[in-house]
Amino acid sequence: MTTTTSSASLTDDAGALAGELTQLRRTLHAVPEVGLDLPRTQEAVLTALEGLPLEITTGQGLSSVTGVLRGALPGPTVLLRGDMDALPLAERSGLDFAAPVERMHACGHDLHTTMLAGAAQLLSTRRDRLAGNVIFMFQPGEEGYDGAGQMLAEGVLDAAGTGQPPVAAYALHVMSHSWPAGVFTARGGPQMASSNVLSVTVRGAGAHGSSPHRGKDPIPPAAEMVGALQTWITRTFDVFDPVVLTVGTFHAGTATNIIPDTAEFQATIRCFSPENLERLRAGTVAVCQGIAAAYGVEVDAVFSEQYPVTVNDRAETDFAAHAVRELLGEERFAPMDNPSLGAEDFSRVIDAVPGAMIFLGATPLGADPETAPSNHSPLAVFDESVLPDGAALYADLALRRLSAAAI
């Protein structure tokens, strides 16, 4: 396969950016923002892209940044994506640059944003050898806000203005656990699960805590629903087509001696197959309704779809694996045997165009990947040494894919 630049020059140039990338990552880490409105993050990204030969646009309904780099040679378009938002939890990592707020970059999106900005720098210096266009998709709202869907609706796939969608799309995702720092992994086909939400409100009747018979306590039936849903899943679904249900919130009451009117909980539900999705949609609601009827209370149980299954294009996954091995070394890519029950709205992008999500191990030096705090933990720490290689791979994927399309 013909490439447009040597691996050595790309990795050397990325290595020379290490200090700059580290500073940008720490700047982003210290100002975590949640959801679709990320003004300080957007400002930092725009500052990082200043002076580059990019056509920059920002989102209308969200704080997205889209950059288009037009190569000197004719060709199609490749999209590179990095998500930017943080999570609503207080950081306990102990880092000197930890954010002093109830928000944290616990999923590594600050690294994704930094690596994509680094790739923009690397590709800008290789514009004369770029056979086509590159769309840089800096996306807010991945953590449950469907930022990818909103950017698609605002036209990110046609940002290059060619009237043709990208021939390929790639995203990197760092992991603070499971893989050693610097090891990339991916699998063709389903790589990440669909994400769905079950929202339940149990409606009873309040009373004094000393006289439960005078009210209808919503807490016991709600608690029973939580347990029954777990049991129902283990007795309904094939373990080789996995399903996971986790209750993440449960709220009821204001004082020990008051029986509340309502109890509420929400669960995330993950699966891979459309058959299981349909069974979950009907079955979870039916379990809650049955328990409510037995207790004589009312229930509102709503099942809603969030993100579809992330299905990597097999050819693009093989292409990315080859790129890692040629750019960084054979040992730097490890095939991913089993899919993850995590979920991603990048799934929407690669539902529309061929592409792949690639995981990048970022377990801190000296930590055991099997026991290191995971993504979404307030203790999560990511090894910053992966930043140059992530930026180099983003750039290399674009160069290789456009070069391959031109042959």
The string of pLDDT tens digits covering residues 275-307 is: 999 999 999 999 999 999 999 999 999 999 999
Binding residues for Mn(2+): 107, 109, 143, 173, 376
Provide CB contacts within 8 A for 168, sequence distance 6+. Answer: 78, 79, 313, 316, 319, 353, 354, 355, 397, 401
pLDDT of residue 273: 94
Give the phi and the psi of residue 337 in degrees, each rounded to 5: -70, -45
Q: Output the pLDDT for position 224.
A: 98
Alpha-carbon radius of gyration of the chain: 23
* pLDDT attached to residue 205: 98
Residue 305 known to be catalytic: no
Residues of the binding site: 107, 109, 143, 173, 376
> Does 384 participate in catalysis according to the annotation?
yes
User: Among candidates 299, 240, 301, 219, which has minimal Cα distance to 267?
Assistant: 301
pLDDT value, residue 405? 79
Q: Identify the pLDDT of residue 3.
A: 39
With a CB cutoff of 8 Å and minimum separation 6, the contacts of 263 are: 201, 202, 204, 218, 219, 221, 222, 250, 251, 252, 253
Which residue ranges form the domains of the chain, and what is each CATH number? 7-190+309-406 (3.40.630.10), 194-307 (3.30.70.360)
The catalytic residue among 145, 295, 307, 394 is: 307
Positive or negative, the CA dihedral 303, 306, 307, 308 is: positive
Low-confidence residues of the chain, pLDDT below 70?
1-8, 406-407
- What is the value of pTM for the model shown? 0.92
pLDDT at position 407: 60
Rounded distance between C-alpha atoms, residue 57 and residue 200, angstroms? 40
CB 89 within 8 A of CB 76: no
